[in-house]
Structure 1
């Protein structure tokens, strides 16, 4: 067979060998990758970087003995697997005893022992993420001891305190905290009905002045409107007539008293004059009280124009909600012409769903936040309706808010957070520190000059603090504030998940 005919056959065979090799490599478990420095504590291990073993792991060799270290994590938690070799040929797993001392940043040394399993040695502990650690490997074979060292860096970043401060990153310490379980409900700001006043003129008349519009603030005693009232003129006339009769009665009484004392007139005339004086005084007092009841100060000798002028004054300080009066209008004494609301406090009408009625209770702390802009306030639940609305099928709770600064406006939609429970947890971190890194929920722990991702198992949260169930201990320091910048820098640094 000539060379021309053999060449295509050889090319096909070569391609088949390459493809077979790739398939074998893809089926192998992931292996530890990092800068591995091989030490020689017994004078046996080699000095060069470990090679790649037949199963894709890192191969440590010395004096004919070899050890291949892999991390297997397909369908199981990550675990070390070790394969043994002698002069390049596989050994049974019981042919050597192996242990590994694993050291992480900010954690005690983790001693991992191995036992035979199938054709490999299996570590007795899970290799927690991230796989960033230093390893000290010790193996005993036929009375000989072999030692190697290995380092691996993953999800780690070196950064000074000054750089962190510039980036807006704060370093906090994990520890016990009070986590408040909250219930979020919708609501609306409404007027405090206990502080709304309907203003009526109390006298019929014609409107001569209107001084305020709806939406304006007034102070107690401000003149809202002026009414010209014939009835007021009659009351003033009665008061002034009573004053004159009182003056005359007083003069007659003084004269009769003097004549009786001088034995000139009979006592009967004196007593009659005293009775007339008392009746006149009662008439004056009655006329004065009628004026005072209308808010008018009784004053004798008023000019004629002032007799009909009635000033309608604001009974409280507050906001004018409505005005139904117009200049020149004829009014009855019982019609509402202004509505004034005291805005120093407002109510929050909270919508409570039937499933939440067992949680909401009077005296409960509430945080109220506006939906349209950044306004929030605190209060307590003061009332819960006992009936559920026929159309909405919800109940209503009331939260009173202080509004002296005028931040809250009736009609605003709000969200209410009710504290349903307060629990002290042994370890908690700031919610601002939590980030998603790969498929982990992490904080970035601070260890000396390094930051490193720490995957967490989280518990309860109130939006400010988050309970840590696993992955971080009390007293450990972590990055908060602008912790997203740490995540971005680690991604740029290429601290990949490669083993």
Structure 2
């Protein structure tokens, strides 16, 4: 088990202007009848099996946590004058008082040369320990603290650091699908400029890329039949994106010019057969630029078949809004469409989850003390993560500022030590 003791005040993340004055971060003390005090809590005596040695006169008990099997279990070794004792002659009880408080009790039976308990020592291995051992009519008792992933921070410092908490409970987890696509001008945002009568272009007053307004005269054409000259005007406002004739050229059935309005945009997302059945008109979509710098919320306005019948893909149209410099026609774009929602009996905010050793954890809050809770995780969305184990419903846990709690625990020099 790990044990450490620190008392300090510290500032966390000065660059973020967050001051967390830390008090009483994870202590560990040991009080044993007949046992000499240690110079430091982490300097407890280790036994032949690298466990914690508890002494009372000429009797000693070595506490180890066996973690080689499927679950952590206690293994205890008894000694008389530092010589191993037959475990059949020793009775031991251990009580682990966890933050909360919650008490886990263990009784032991002899096995090989040690005492063991069938009860699992659940994570986190952070608790106040009370040990009672009986042998030859004598009782020996010890108490000590063994903490990990724990720190204490004043309420004022937590507020200053932006730490917020919530109670763990049920939540609706939205199911999403990722989509890939590109930005295109809508059909309403593009128009061909066609001469009413075939003829020769007498003049043209616009260039490729020039912005024009609806009704503006773009060119003059001399009709081949009447030899009269008439004006060709812009049917919509926008930008000249195609120019197919020049002065002196002959117009026919092909467009003279093409105008596109860069403010009338939509995203075209490709739906493959495995996803197409789950996507519907009206479903919400979050649209994100490939660089991730820009995003907006929209909805699917139409689902159309593509011209490619081989792969049977569909195209979902999603309207876009915002500055034209943000969304440009032809650029790639990512989307996340919400296709449904299901209730999770227990869930936490996804942003609250932090790494700790080989676990994903949240930090439970009891008073001014914060401690890791190792999670068994189910479904996950950007907002919520389902919890299948490791956390009790109603537990108050850190949402905002969780990374600061993690940083403070790491600064304390914590290690998983038994």
Give TM-score, length-normalised by structure 2.
0.79
Instruction: Judging by fraction of residues, say which structure has more strand.
Output: 2
- Matches for 1:78-93 after TM superposition, within 5 Å: 78-93=72-87
Equivalent in 233, 238, 246 of residue 313 of structure 1: 233
- Matches for 1:371-390 after TM superposition, within 5 Å: 371-377=290-296, 378-380=298-300, 382-385=302-305, 389-390=309-310
The 10-residue stretch of structure 1 (371-380 or 381-390) with the greater mean CA deviation from structure 2 = 381-390
Does residue 198 of the first structure (1) align with residue 192 of the second (2)?
A: yes
Tell me which residue corresponds to 2:16: none
Deviation of residue 163 (structure 1)?
A: 4.5
Distance 1:216 1:110 in 2: 77
Unpaired runs of 5+ residues, structure 2, are 5-27, 39-43
Distance 1:214 1:165 in 2: 58
Equivalent in 360, 376, 392 of residue 473 of structure 1: 392
Does residue 368 of the first structure (1) align with residue 362 of the second (2)?
A: no
Alignment deviations for residues 189-216 of structure 1 (CA, whole Å, 9 cap, x no partner): 2222354321212134554554444444
Alignment deviations for residues 71-109 of structure 1 (CA, whole Å, 9 cap, x no partner): 111234221122233454433333233222212223522
- Matches for 1:2-401 after TM superposition, within 5 Å: 33-34=3-4, 35-39=28-32, 46=35, 48=37, 51-62=45-56, 64-142=58-136, 144-161=138-155, 163-164=157-158, 170-204=164-198, 206-207=200-201, 209-227=203-221, 308=229, 310-326=230-246, 328-332=247-251, 334-377=253-296, 378-380=298-300, 382-385=302-305, 389-390=309-310, 393=311, 395-401=313-319
* Partners of 1:343 and 1:403 within 8 A in 2: no
Where 2:118 maps in the other structure, the secondary structure is: strand
Distance 2:317 2:345 in 1: 32
Tell me which residue corresponds to 2:10: none
Deviation of residue 152 (structure 1)?
A: 1.2
Alignment deviations for residues 148-188 of structure 1 (CA, whole Å, 9 cap, x no partner): 21101222233345545665654444332222222223211
Distance 1:352 1:431 in 2: 27
The 10-residue stretch of structure 1 (457-466 or 404-413) with the greater mean CA deviation from structure 2 = 404-413
Distance 1:84 1:404 in 2: 74
Tell me which residue corresponds to 1:495: 414
* Partners of 2:267 and 2:317 within 8 A in 1: yes
* Partners of 2:200 and 2:251 within 8 A in 1: no
* Partners of 2:270 and 2:316 within 8 A in 1: no
Alignment deviations for residues 322-348 of structure 1 (CA, whole Å, 9 cap, x no partner): 23343x335436441222234454333
Query: Structure 1 residues 448, 216: closer, same or farther in 2, change over 3 A?
Result: farther
Unpaired runs of 5+ residues, structure 1, are 1-30, 235-307
Alignment deviations for residues 396-430 of structure 1 (CA, whole Å, 9 cap, x no partner): 32222133643422211012223233122122223
Query: Structure 1 residues 208, 403: closer, same or farther in 2, change over 3 A?
Result: farther
Deviation of residue 475 (structure 1)?
A: 3.1
Instruction: Judging by fraction of residues, say which structure has more helix.
Output: 1
Decide which structure has the larger Cα Rg and report it: 1
Deviation of residue 495 (structure 1)?
A: 0.7
Query: Structure 1 residues 150, 381: closer, same or farther in 2, change over 3 A?
Result: farther
Query: Structure 1 residues 477, 329: closer, same or farther in 2, change over 3 A?
Result: farther
* Partners of 1:181 and 1:420 within 8 A in 2: yes
- Number of matched pairs: 388
Distance 1:364 1:387 in 2: 24
